[in-house]
Amino acid sequence: MSAVSDVVDWFADPTHWEGPGGVPTRLLEHLGLSAAALGIACAIAVPLALWLGHVGRGGPLAVNLANTGRAVPTFAVLVLLAIGPLGFGPGSTVTALVLFAVPPILTNGYVGMREVDRDVVEAAKGVGMSPWQVARTVELPLAVPLLLNGIRLAAVQVIATATIAALVAGGGLGNIILLGFGTQDQAAVVAGALLVAAFALVTELVFVVLAGLVGRRPSPAVAEP
Amino acid sequence: MASSSTSCLQRNDWVCGEYLTTRADLIASSALEHVVLTAVSVALGLAIALPLGVLAFRFRRVGAVVLGASTALYTIPSLAMFSLLLPFTGLSATTVVVGLVLYSLTILVRNVVAGLQAVPADVVESATGTGYGPVSLLLRVQLPLALPTILAGVRVATVSTVALVTVGAILGHGGLGDLIYSGLRTQFQAEVLTATVLVVALAVVADLLLLGLQRAVTPWQRAAR
């Protein structure tokens, strides 16, 4: 079990906790990249999903986009963007993260709006609500649990893709794993992987708690880890 | 477009016929490795998911634990998953397969359970009434009726596995992902784009083949429509 003690030693080494390659810096990079990408993806996908769901159009597009997203390897897209026009750096990374975060939000938001009981919507119209009032006070509150589930899937996807981004453009917790591979330091590889896994699981947990607050269990995961 | 005196390899074009002809063997062997890694992983995943799913269906408490654990596994980013397995199985194709099997379980177990749950209670009752024991009920009534849902899970698992194999490049066993990784380091555009297109094509072909299989083994579904 020397592998375990090596990893414990890695975490105990104070030099791994300071400087530009230290755990806190890498964690902040990972958090920054992920939060930026998730924020941009929400800004694009949430209004679009709610509007498409409200008017009931673009259903096949919203659903097929998520299925297509699953077939496209995130690693390949990261590399294509980096050696292509965007170049190596945070620009490529955030673009790739956004590309993969949009489909789950769009699909779940759309389905959430469409799943609202049509009778309820008709009743709301019948009592004289405007389309805007129907969307805001009837459909949106009922769609929130599924929308939140979409954002959760997107977050899990973003964190996983941000880890792979270290292979391409550097930065984030994936860098610790990559450096470990480069120096054949297995303890560093495992320590980095544990940090990434913990980060992802804590994020998932935050969303489970959020989903509990709005009162519905999350449905199956469809993102690519 | 450009002068024909220099080759597309020298110009580092995105699309290059000469790349295809000169590297045909490498592309073919990488694609073959990609197919084998995917097929082995999904087959092993299914072999484990069937008994696990039946157990989870029979015993609700087991089901909660199995589904919870597999969801948590799915949250772990792929790069971290492969890295965490490194101390056990080393830099090998086995590590990649074990990681991919773990991911496929999330989708497959869920679909096995959902398929079994969707078998109508009166069908089960009349089968029991005509003398089916628990084992023959499972093998000859419940599992065949759950087959469409199980195969739908196999399709989703296969498509996402094809994409995930690429990350195995970090261990040197990523099928076409190996070409993407080496193309990244040498900024070889034709290599990266060709491999990416092939990965997506593989996912599409696998999905269509499985759709054909699904139609062939469940002819009653088509008749019902």
Checking if the pLDDT of A223 tops 80, the result is no
Element (H, E) at A86: none
Q: Please list, in sequence order, all residues whose beta carbon lies within 8 angstroms of the beta carbon of residue A5, skipping any fewer than 6 positions away.
A: none
Q: What is the rounded distance in angstroms from the CA atom of residue B177 to the CA atom of residue B96?
A: 12
Confidence of residue B223 (pLDDT cuts 50, 70, 90): low
More confident residue, A211 or A202: A202
Question: What pLDDT digit, counting tens, does each position of A9-64 carry?
Answer: 899 888 888 888 889 999 999 999 999 999 999 999 999 999 998 888 887 887 78
Show me where the domains of chain A are located.
Answer: 2-214
Q: Select from B106, B110, B200 the Cβ nearest to the Cβ of A71.
A: B200
DSSP state of A21: T
DSSP secondary structure, B35-88, as one string:
HHHHHHHHHHHHHHHHHHHHHHHH-HHHHHHHHHHHHHHHHS-HHHHHHHHHHH
> Is a pLDDT exceeding 60 seen at residue A221?
no
Domains of chain B: 20-217 (1.10.3720.10)
**pLDDT computed for residue A218 by the predictor:** 47
Q: What is the DSSP track for B100-158?
A: HHHHHHHHHHHHHHHHHHTS-HHHHHHHHHTT--HHHHIIIIIHHHHHHHHHHHHHHHH
Mean pLDDT value of segment B49-78: 90
Contacts of A204 in chain B (CB under 8 A): 71-72, 75
- Report the percent of chain A where pLDDT is more than 90: 35
Q: Return the C-alpha torsion angle A188, A193, A194, A199, nearest 10.
A: 130
How long, in residues, is chain B? 225
Which of A75, A88, A189 would you mutate first to test chain B, the one with the most B CBs within 10 A? Answer: A75
With 50 as the cut, is the pLDDT of residue A199 above it?
yes
Nearest CA in chain B to A176: B80
Q: A153 — contact with chain B (CB < 8 Å)?
A: no
The CATH number for A2-214, chosen from 1.10.3720.10, 1.10.579.10, 3.20.20.140, 3.40.228.10, is 1.10.3720.10
B64 phi and psi angles, rounded to 5 deg: -60, -45
How much is the pLDDT for A216? 53
* Predicted local distance difference test score (pLDDT) of residue A220: 46
Average pLDDT of span A213-225: 59
pLDDT score of B72 more than 50: yes
**CB contact at 8 A, B12 and B158:** no
Q: Is the pLDDT of residue A217 over 50?
A: no
Q: What angle do CA A42, A48, A49 make, to 5 degrees?
A: 85
Q: Which residue has the tokens 């405007």?
A: A130
Average pLDDT over residues A96-103: 92
Which region among A61-75, B68-82, B94-108 has the lowest average model confidence (pLDDT)? A61-75
Q: Is the pLDDT of residue B2 over 80?
A: no
Count CB pairs under 8 A between chains A and B: 142
What pLDDT digit, counting tens, does each position of A126-179 carry?
998 888 888 888 888 888 989 998 999 899 889 988 999 888 877 889 999 989
B42-78 burial: b if 16+ Cβ within 10 Å, else e: bebbbebbbebbbebbeeeeebeebbeebbebbbbbb
Asked if residue A7 lies in contact with residue A176, where contact means CB atoms within 8 angstroms, the answer is no
Chain B residues with CB under 8 Å of A200 CB are: 75-77, 80
Residues of A in contact with B71 (CB under 8 A): 204, 221
Reduced to 3 states (helix: H, G, I; strand: E, B; else coil), residue A104 is helix
Q: Taking residues B25-30, what's their average pLDDT?
A: 93
**Mean per-residue pLDDT over chain A, rounded:** 87
Q: Which of residues 45-104 of B touch A (CB under 8 A)?
A: 71-72, 74-81, 83-84, 86-87, 103
Nearest residue, CB atoms, B83 vs list A3, A77, A193: A193
**Is B225's pLDDT higher than 50?**
no
Which bin fits A87, alpha (ψ -120 to 50), beta or left (φ > 0)?
left
For residues A100 and A224, the answer to whether their CB atoms sit within 8 Å is yes
pLDDT over threshold 50, residue A119: yes
CA B24 – CA B33 distance, rounded (Å) = 14
Q: Tens digit of pLDDT for each residue in B149-207? A: 999 999 999 999 999 999 999 999 999 999 999 999 888 889 999 999 999 999 999 99
Contacts with B, A 106-135, CB within 8 Å: none
Instruction: Name which of A76, A83, A225 is nearest B76 (Cβ-Cβ).
Output: A225
